[in-house]
Amino acid sequence: MKTDFSGFHKLGLNERLAILKKATGLSTREVNDLVNSGSLDIEIADIMIENVIGVMHTPMGIAVNFRVNGRDYLIPMCTEEPSVVAAASHAAKLALPSGFKAESDDPVMIGQIQLVGVRDFEKVKDIIMSKRDYILKAANNKDSVMLTLGGGAKDIEVRKVETERGVMAIVHVLVDVRDAMGANSVNTICETLSPYLEEITGARARLRIISNLAVYRKARATAVWRKEDLGEDVIEGILDAYHFALNDPFRCATNNKGVMNGIDAVLVATGNDFRAAEAGAHAYAALNGYKPLTKYEKDKKGNLVGSIELPLAVGLVGGATKTNPIARISLKILGVKSSKELAEIAACTGLANNFAALRAMIKEGIQKGHMKLHAKNIAIMAGAAGNNVYEIASRMIQESNISVSRAMELVKIYRRAGRKR
């Protein structure tokens, strides 16, 4: 698939779909599913969660220009926020021709078993560690696809956590979950092991649950943005913005929100658990005082080098990735072969969206581009439909007055004009 999707955003929906179909090999049925907003059957939705009363839709866009480790990707992103897809695509375009370099750890998740009533922590730890091999064997005792693919429990750790209610021994089971997000298998392993841990330690097992701070499952990406494309002042501005976030948690929260704009959109599009990723990302950012998930510096030539590192527990199998037909189509468009590859792509979008937000704020501010796209939403909110949406949006932009009240006036004017015609 070629990356050159220049002008994609200027095409109409049908033209965009035709190009996407050709580039990705989507079937006509899959393209119909994408555009038919009712493609998540209510029967399937009813199985997915409880008390179902309907299905809520979110727009899906395609981020273009992403070259990652030399391969070109089209990245489906689901978000209600205007500018996110455009920003990611633009940042990726500026990072060409080399694009992004990305890598990730093996998909190892941590399962936690909380042992309370621990009188002598060191003794409890020694007992558990002396049974390490048996514990791992017991954890891997059930047949599963994960085991046949080389995954499963690989190691254990025992941590001391001192609390107001006494010392707790926290057993970490490190599980390679292969292409799953992993919560189900890890939680099952924790629940399976806890009676044995109680038996050998005399302590009481309380919580047995995955940790979303997936420090053994991090994804990393870097990109270089050239001095000749950005200009020295923008580079200095982005460095100032980065150091602001590095030293001020109030700014840092917003910086990291901009990172997650990109990552969450990919995770939603692929049916992944974006809350798990959010929890992991922010907990990781806060490990040594709350810090940005991205980093910026200059290389010897004065180019801007951006990088990102964060835990990313994403899957290609299980959960909504398989039950939601749109998530399946997203994975097909992406063409990723493993959960590692998906995490790497998501990390690249996080870096791209962060870079784009910083660059926009340094240059004209984000409101100009944002409001341009937002103008269409406001026109719809005010009751515009069809071509009037575009006309009212462009008129509000021309007048530099993008507001619901102006949109409502314009809707009335356009309706009256429409009746007279």
Dmax over CA atoms of the chain, in Å, equals: 88
Place of tokens 């391969």: 71
Place of tokens 């581009």: 369
Q: Which of 154, 227, 257, 322 binds ligand MEV (CB under 6 A)?
A: 257
Q: Which of 39, 112, 261, 330 binds ligand MEV (CB under 6 A)?
A: 261
Place of tokens 């633009």: 90
CA distance 290 to 255: 11
Q: Is the peptide bond before 97 cis (omega within 30 degrees of 0)?
A: yes
- What is the 3-state composition of the chain as percent helix, strand, coil, each rounded to the nearest 5? 50, 20, 30
Place of tokens 């791209």: 352
**Per CB under 6 A, which region of 117-125, 250-258, 299-307, 334-342 contacts ligand MEV?**
250-258
Residue 357 beta carbon to ligand MEV: minimum distance, rounded to whole angstroms? 4
Task: Indicate if 179 belongs to the active site.
Answer: no
Active-site residue, from 30, 33, 179, 273:
273
Q: Which of 152, 182, 258, 292 binds ligand MEV (CB under 6 A)?
A: 258
Active-site residue, from 172, 370, 374, 376:
370
CA distance 316 to 279: 20
**Per CB under 6 A, which region of 175-183, 220-228, 249-257, 325-333 contacts ligand MEV?**
249-257
Task: Indicate if 43 belongs to the active site.
Answer: no
387 sits near ligand MEV (criterion: CB under 6 A): no
109 sits near ligand MEV (criterion: CB under 6 A): no
Touching ligand MEV, residues 81-100 (CB under 6 A): 81
Residue 289 or 365: which CB sits closer to ligand MEV? 365
Q: Which of 65, 255, 330, 388 binds ligand MEV (CB under 6 A)?
A: 255
Active-site residue, from 81, 229, 391, 409:
81
> Would you say 303 and 142 are in contact if contact means Cβ atoms under 8 Å apart?
no
Residue 135 or 357: which CB sits closer to ligand MEV? 357
Query: How many beta carbons lie within 10 A of that of residue 9, not counting itself?
Result: 14
Residue 357 or 411: which CB sits closer to ligand MEV? 357
Phi, psi of 335, deg, nearest 5: 70, 30
Nearest to 91 by CA among 404, 329, 343, 353: 353
314 to 353: interface string for ligand MEV, x by CB under 6 A: ----------------------------------------
Residue 27 or 254: which CB sits closer to ligand MEV? 254
> Would you say 103 and 110 are in contact if contact means Cβ atoms under 8 Å apart?
no
CA distance 204 to 169: 10
Place of tokens 């009363």: 53
Task: Indicate if 243 belongs to the active site.
Answer: no
Touching ligand MEV, residues 24-83 (CB under 6 A): 81
Nearest to 3 by CA among 115, 110, 100: 100
Place of tokens 């948690």: 249
Residue 94 beta carbon to ligand MEV: minimum distance, rounded to whole angstroms? 17
Residue 286 beta carbon to ligand MEV: minimum distance, rounded to whole angstroms? 17
**Per CB under 6 A, which region of 99-107, 254-262, 274-282, 298-306 contacts ligand MEV?**
254-262
Tell me the two tokens of residue 203.
Answer: 């302590």
127 sits near ligand MEV (criterion: CB under 6 A): no
Residue 79 or 201: which CB sits closer to ligand MEV? 79
Task: Indicate if 257 belongs to the active site.
Answer: yes
Residue 348 beta carbon to ligand MEV: minimum distance, rounded to whole angstroms? 17
Tell me the two tokens of residue 348.
Answer: 């690249």
Residue 104 or 261: which CB sits closer to ligand MEV? 261
Sequential DSSP letters for 33-46: HHH-TT-S-HHHHH
Residue 6 beta carbon to ligand MEV: minimum distance, rounded to whole angstroms? 25
Residue 358 beta carbon to ligand MEV: minimum distance, rounded to whole angstroms? 6
CA distance 403 to 382: 9
360 to 379: interface string for ligand MEV, x by CB under 6 A: ------x-------------
Nearest to 100 by CA among 301, 323, 391, 354: 354
Instruction: Give how many residues touch ligand MEV by CB under 6 A.
Output: 8
What is the amino acid identity at position 221? A
Phi, psi of 381, deg, nearest 5: -60, -35
Residue ranges in contact with ligand MEV by CB under 6 A: 81, 254-255, 257-258, 261, 357, 366
Catalytic positions, please?
Answer: 81, 257, 273, 370
